[in-house]
Amino acid sequence: MKNLVTEIYQTLKSNNLKNYNTLKYFVILFTLLSILISCEQSDDKKINQWSDFVEFRKGNIPLIIVAPHGGDLKPKWIENRDCQGSVITKDLYTLDIAFQIENELNNMGYQPFIVYAKIHRIKIDLNRSLQTSHCEDDTSNELWQLFHDQIFTFRQEIINNYNRGLLIDIHGHGHPIQRIELGYLITSQKLRELSSDETFIQHNETSINSLIENHPENKKLGDLLFGDNALGSLLSKNGFPTVPSSTDRAPKSGEPFFSGGTNTKNYGSKYQNGVDAIQLELNRNGLRQDSEDRKRFSKVFAKILIDYMKFHYSDIFPSN
Ligand SMILES: [Zn+2]
């Protein structure tokens, strides 16, 4: 490229002085612009350390809250995800809700462990494996590692201090039915079968296997999905319709439903004992869309979380 420019430069210089001058100005302008762009990019990268794209906090109860899809930041130096099958829309207002839940828990005297992403999903999907979190631009690998190492470290700390605990992975869905969907790694088909025969599915196939194996009141899988103290039932009772719950045990055939993604699989207790995981998929109307609803939900959910843990994890939940 450099040789080609020099060659044209020399040819024009010898043939035509006017064109030579035009080209000279063009080359100067081009050089100045390149310097300007490269300065801006390197400054950007230098100023924005990876820690600007995430928020972590250590907790004082055996609860981790994760929010991977609610961020807004779109650094220019990470390519947009544009390969086939990439979901690039953010889960609207879920980061705001995640911060409000933390704040409400703080007001009650509790600090959960938190791992929140502030980067936009168009740049990296933090609820996927490292290889599928981007589209061949591995610039963001360090960020993926940082985010997941932090969940892993907190998870380990909870196991060391409390033996067991709970992780809630917060998302937002765009399905037409306005209800919260809880993911325990149980598909809608299995939920339907389970709702008529509670012995149908083995609890070791779920992300709350540890809870069922160690439950202080000896509750079974059916109790944790459809019982009065199931997370879905507590949410429904408090004005936020949820599936599965005592009033809406399973999605009907053909209704879209999210049963839990990579974080629920990797950090829940399906494959290892210790920390259970539940994916929380929040609907839009009446919950995420308006700021008053977000405030109301965050307050209600923080209280439900503590009630839930005091009941189901009574043997390990710290008394205050
Ligand atoms: Zn999501």
What is the chain's pLDDT, residue by residue, as a tens digit (320 residues)?
445 445 545 544 555 545 555 546 655 555 555 544 444 444 455 445 899 999 999 999 999 999 999 999 999 999 999 888 898 899 999 999 999 999 999 999 999 999 999 999 999 999 999 999 998 888 999 999 999 999 999 999 999 999 999 999 999 999 999 999 999 999 999 999 998 887 777 888 999 999 999 999 999 999 999 999 999 999 999 999 999 999 999 999 999 999 999 999 999 999 999 999 999 999 999 999 999 999 999 999 999 999 999 999 999 999 86
Cα of 73 from ligand 1 centre, angstroms: 16
Cα of 91 from ligand 1 centre, angstroms: 5
Cα of 312 from ligand 1 centre, angstroms: 26
CB 142 within 8 A of CB 101: no
Domain ranges of the chain: 2-47, 51-312
Of 291, 175, 300, the closest CA to residue 243 belongs to 175
Q: What are phi and psi of 93, to 5 degrees?
A: 65, 10
Residue 46 has what pLDDT? 44
Amino acid at site 304: I
Helix H or strand E segment including 114: strand 113-117
Report, in angstroms and rounded to the nearest whole number, the Rg of the chain calculated over CA atoms. Answer: 25
Cα of 78 from ligand 1 centre, angstroms: 20
Q: Which residues are CB-contacts of 153 (< 8 A; sequence separation ≥ 6)?
A: none
Of 203, 180, 178, 177, the closest CA to residue 190 belongs to 203
Q: For domain 51-312, which CATH number applies: 3.30.420.40, 3.40.50.1470, 3.40.630.40, 3.40.50.300? A: 3.40.630.40
Cα of 291 from ligand 1 centre, angstroms: 19
Alpha carbon separation from 82 to 74, 140, 147, 275 (Å, rounded): 14, 15, 22, 34
